[in-house]
Structure 1
Amino acid sequence: MLAGSPSSHMGSSISMYRGICSTSRIGNSESPNSGASSSFTQPIADMNENDKTDLLSITWNQNYRLFAVGTSHGFRVYTCKPCKEALRRDIESSGFKIVEMLFCSNVLALVGSVANSHYPPNKVLIWDDCHRRCIGEFTYMSEIRGVKLRRDRVVVVLEHKIYVYNFIDLKLLHQIETLANPRGLCCLSHHSNTFVLACPGLHKGQVRVEHFGLNVTKSINAHYSQIACLTLTLDGLLLATASIRGTLIRIFNTMDGSRLQEVRRGADIAEINSIAFSPNVQWLAASSDKGTVHVFSLRVRVSGEDSLTQPNVAQGPALFHQNSSTSLDPLISPNTGANPSSALSFMRGFLPKYFSSEWSFAQFRLPKSTHLIVAFGSENDIIIVSMDGSFYRCSFDIVHGGEMVRQEYVRFLKFENMP
């Protein structure tokens, strides 16, 4: 049943089952609302709707059209427009703390919760939901902090190390040492012609950027405090970061490490839960534990194309050749506004930095503080998913900014102690 004997390295083992199959889209598999298939090895019991279900994690897919949630009884996938359950797998006593999707396909990476007696938190399952079977496994000596997927790569994040594998044969390609990374921070580019990875470096406040196509590593000293959140544009040419203080968000050119812009979420310390670039790279959204989502206008971007000649995947990994332009162009458009700043900003250099900061262009305030993750549905369309089981869609005025308007609200997962 195994395609080959498991290989081991640095206390980990890998198993590949029957090869990686072709993928289909979420929703094409039969009976999407039924319980889990017997391909899961533990006994399956029908879940009662009255059974208590806890929400353990929320993740977007790579194009923000779907989001996946890990629960104390399995996992679910929802569409964003409209917010609707597309896939549900309920498994008795098997919670998943990580559910990572591969775009809109049937392939997911699953990592069990500490309470999961059948799928431990030190094992990654590459799950093909169309055929209801595991097509690969990664097992480590320590707990897995994060998993990221591209069409050609699987990235597994441990507390002090990141492993990069070829998707087609699960062969190990790269190992990266990091500072302690309990949050599992790591982000990837998702354009097919670039492969950029950003993660914490070896020093506090440092971000390591790998341009694998160029065989270039860049270290960016982004903050004085530890990194709390980071994200890349789809092409990997821009990086946005926040520290554990949560007051400032900085945008960098990943090619030369230069800081392009700095925006301010607020003056008080907060935990930034997520950062997202808009598809046209004109806006940046951020959510925090203050229960507020901020949108900032971006003034700069990296222009130019990265060209990547990819080998035939059947031939296995090979060195890529990549050419990039690092020129900077202004991103100020006549139909978009600018971030507000203090009335005393003209005295920058004489007053504390606070007075010259760029503040958010638009805001959306939720009734109470909770863990939020954000994404852009369109140019002025913000999607917010909350760990309390709530889904929001809101819009902002691209000329005047200000308070966003709520367009949609759905309680996608209800809890016993909530209305």
Structure 2
Amino acid sequence: MTTISSSPDLLTTPQMAHPQPLHAASEPEPDDSSSLSTQNTSPCPNPNPTQIPTLLHLSFNQDHGCFSVATDVGFRVYNCDPVREIFRREFGPGGGLGMVQMLFRCNVLALVGGGPDPLYSPNKVMIWEDNESRCICELSFRSEVKGVRLRRDRIVVVLVQKVFVYNFTDLKLLHQIETIANPKGLCEVSNLSGHPVLVCPGLQKGQVRIENYGSKRTKFVIAHDSRLACLALTQDGRLLATASSKGTLIRIFNTLDGSLLQEVRRGADRAEIYSLAFSSTAQWLAVSSDKGTVHVFSLKVDSGSLANNRSCSASEISPPNPSGISSLSFMKGVLPRYFSSEWSVAKYHLQEGLQYTVAFGHQKNTVVILGMDGSFYRCQFDPVNGGEMTQLEYYNFLKPEETF
């Protein structure tokens, strides 16, 4: 295994293993110090694989076709449609993982230790090669890793006040960004090939930093008055959604020029936003919060139109969609902003207080919802009439007796 610190001057230039498609295998900072290690540190298998683990983290892959879960004994990877477990790696006591990030559907994953008995130090990002069932390299830092994002050509590591961008093939440090305190590890990168777009907190409360690496331009946007709570990007990186700690308003920005395109309202009461997700066409935005409700909003502009109308204002790009706008919007200049806000088209009610992560399904007009209790929901919304979503499927993916 190759061990690399976050130092700009790497001791070695390791070559990453070429990613292969996922398979169900047979059961059996810059001033940090640098070091090189070649020993095999493969964890031992879990002696009790039937025990239901404690879920510590979950996330979708880049195309929302799979999701991975980190537990107190290892990790698992699932397919979304149809729902099925692809493979698991469980290491038993001392095998805790606080984070697992997939690279699309290939055999390379990023692991970070976590829980009361972590498998790896929480200040390291371990690159796991599942064909070999071992970590092939690591990135070490002086403080705890708060987030990891993967592209085919980049690894992005988020610390509490820094973001590091590495080249995936040789782990060369390409960019270092200073941020305001970022305990949630907020950061997103575009997923399509080509020049990446990265968004993360800026140096001020409520500020978003937008890095357009293709044009080599940096934009700073004051998105909210209060601190940021959640970020999301379209796959091409042209649209950005933001939510603050108040959790009442979600704002949509054009990442090319930083302009505000749309503002939607989740509700009137303060809420903690857990996740934001664009549909693949950027026609819809889904939002989950601690209120136990998932909202779907209709968007006025898709990211494809931005490519052809870079200088257009939001009103020039497309007219508002009336299905999500308050009937009092004609009095926008008279009544408080609350009454002219754009409301969700559809919603679904879940257990309040439980953390849920949401994404759009590959089936038309569907939303996939993952709960930290192991719940999997697939719901369908009516794009015309809206209202309460219809539940199509439910599973608890952590329970061995559940059949997918």
TM-score higher than 0.5 here? yes
Count of aligned pairs between the two proteins: 387
Which of 346, 363, 379 lines up with 2:347 in the alignment?
363
Q: How does 1:144-155 map to 2 (within 5 A)?
A: 144-155=145-156
The aligned residue for residue 84 of structure 1 is 84
- Return the letter of the residue paired with 2:80: C
- Return the letter of the residue paired with 2:330: F
Is the Cα contact below 8 Å between 1:364 and 1:403 reproduced in 2? yes
| Whole-angstrom distance in 1 between the partners of 2:73 and 2:138 | 20
- Return the letter of the residue paired with 2:259: S
Post-superposition shift, 1:290? 0.7
Structure 2 unaligned spans of 5+: 29-38
| Whole-angstrom distance in 2 between the partners of 1:121 and 1:261 | 38
Post-superposition shift, 1:13? 7.8
Is the Cα contact below 8 Å between 2:112 and 2:124 reproduced in 1? yes
- Return the letter of the residue paired with 1:169: D
Post-superposition shift, 1:256? 1.1
User: Is the alpha carbon distance of 1:202 and 1:65 closer, same or farther for their aligned partners in structure 2, counting shifts above 3 Å?
Assistant: same
| Whole-angstrom distance in 2 between the partners of 1:16 and 1:104 | 25
| Whole-angstrom distance in 1 between the partners of 2:6 and 2:200 | 24
The aligned residue for residue 70 of structure 1 is 70
| Whole-angstrom distance in 1 between the partners of 2:43 and 2:304 | 51
Which of 16, 23, 33 lines up with 1:20 in the alignment?
16
Post-superposition shift, 1:133? 2.5
Which of 369, 376, 380 lines up with 2:360 in the alignment?
376
| Whole-angstrom distance in 1 between the partners of 2:275 and 2:245 | 12
Is the Cα contact below 8 Å between 2:49 and 2:90 reproduced in 1? no
User: Is the alpha carbon distance of 1:305 and 1:400 closer, same or farther for their aligned partners in structure 2, counting shifts above 3 Å?
Assistant: closer
Which of 25, 34, 43 lines up with 1:30 in the alignment?
25
| Whole-angstrom distance in 1 between the partners of 2:60 and 2:89 | 18
The aligned residue for residue 188 of structure 2 is 187
| Whole-angstrom distance in 2 between the partners of 1:260 and 1:6 | 41
| Whole-angstrom distance in 2 between the partners of 1:357 and 1:250 | 11
Which of 317, 320, 323 lines up with 1:338 in the alignment?
323
| Whole-angstrom distance in 1 between the partners of 2:359 and 2:46 | 35
User: Is the alpha carbon distance of 1:186 and 1:210 closer, same or farther for their aligned partners in structure 2, counting shifts above 3 Å?
Assistant: same
2:384 is the alignment partner of 1:399: yes
| Whole-angstrom distance in 2 between the partners of 1:73 and 1:7 | 26
Post-superposition shift, 1:147? 0.5
| Whole-angstrom distance in 2 between the partners of 1:8 and 1:373 | 30
- Return the letter of the residue paired with 1:279: S
User: Is the alpha carbon distance of 1:14 and 1:117 closer, same or farther for their aligned partners in structure 2, counting shifts above 3 Å?
Assistant: farther
- Return the letter of the residue paired with 1:74: G
User: Is the alpha carbon distance of 1:80 and 1:303 closer, same or farther for their aligned partners in structure 2, counting shifts above 3 Å?
Assistant: closer
User: Is the alpha carbon distance of 1:174 and 1:188 closer, same or farther for their aligned partners in structure 2, counting shifts above 3 Å?
Assistant: same
| Whole-angstrom distance in 2 between the partners of 1:7 and 1:112 | 16
Which of 352, 362, 370 lines up with 1:385 in the alignment?
370
Structure 1 residue matching 2:323: 3-state secondary structure: coil
| Whole-angstrom distance in 2 between the partners of 1:45 and 1:267 | 47
2:60 is the alignment partner of 1:60: yes
Deviation track 1:20-79 (CA, whole Å, cap 9, x = no partner) reads 12222112x531xx25xx9644444412423x5110001110000000000000000011
Q: TM-score, normalised by structure 1?
A: 0.86
Is the Cα contact below 8 Å between 2:73 and 2:95 reproduced in 1? yes
| Whole-angstrom distance in 2 between the partners of 1:326 and 1:344 | 30
The aligned residue for residue 286 of structure 1 is 287
The sequence identity of aligned pairs, in percent, is: 52
Is the Cα contact below 8 Å between 2:97 and 2:118 reproduced in 1? no
The aligned residue for residue 312 of structure 1 is none
Is the Cα contact below 8 Å between 2:112 and 2:121 reproduced in 1? yes
User: Is the alpha carbon distance of 1:135 and 1:304 closer, same or farther for their aligned partners in structure 2, counting shifts above 3 Å?
Assistant: farther
The aligned residue for residue 32 of structure 2 is none
Post-superposition shift, 1:198? 0.2
The aligned residue for residue 9 of structure 1 is 7
Is the Cα contact below 8 Å between 1:303 and 1:326 reproduced in 2? no
Is the Cα contact below 8 Å between 2:19 and 2:107 reproduced in 1? yes
Structure 1 unaligned spans of 5+: 307-322
Q: TM-score, normalised by structure 2?
A: 0.89
2:394 is the alignment partner of 1:409: yes
Is the Cα contact below 8 Å between 2:4 and 2:139 reproduced in 1? no
The aligned residue for residue 104 of structure 2 is 103
Structure 2 residue matching 1:103: 3-state secondary structure: coil
Structure 1 residue matching 2:339: 3-state secondary structure: helix
Structure 1 residue ranges (4+ consecutive) displaced by more than 6 angstroms after TM superposition = 12-16
- Return the letter of the residue paired with 2:382: D
| Whole-angstrom distance in 2 between the partners of 1:388 and 1:114 | 16
| Whole-angstrom distance in 2 between the partners of 1:289 and 1:7 | 37
Deviation track 1:212-252 (CA, whole Å, cap 9, x = no partner) reads 11110000100000000011111111100000000000000
Is the Cα contact below 8 Å between 1:242 and 1:248 reproduced in 2? yes
User: Is the alpha carbon distance of 1:42 and 1:24 closer, same or farther for their aligned partners in structure 2, counting shifts above 3 Å?
Assistant: closer
Deviation track 1:331-390 (CA, whole Å, cap 9, x = no partner) reads 569xx862041x433221221111111110001111443101111114411100010110
| Whole-angstrom distance in 2 between the partners of 1:399 and 1:48 | 46
- RMSD over equivalenced CA pairs, Å: 2.5
| Whole-angstrom distance in 1 between the partners of 2:115 and 2:396 | 26
| Whole-angstrom distance in 1 between the partners of 2:332 and 2:309 | 35
Q: How does 1:262-341 map to 2 (within 5 A)?
A: 262-303=263-304, 325-327=310-312, 330-331=317-318, 338-341=323-326
| Whole-angstrom distance in 2 between the partners of 1:98 and 1:244 | 23
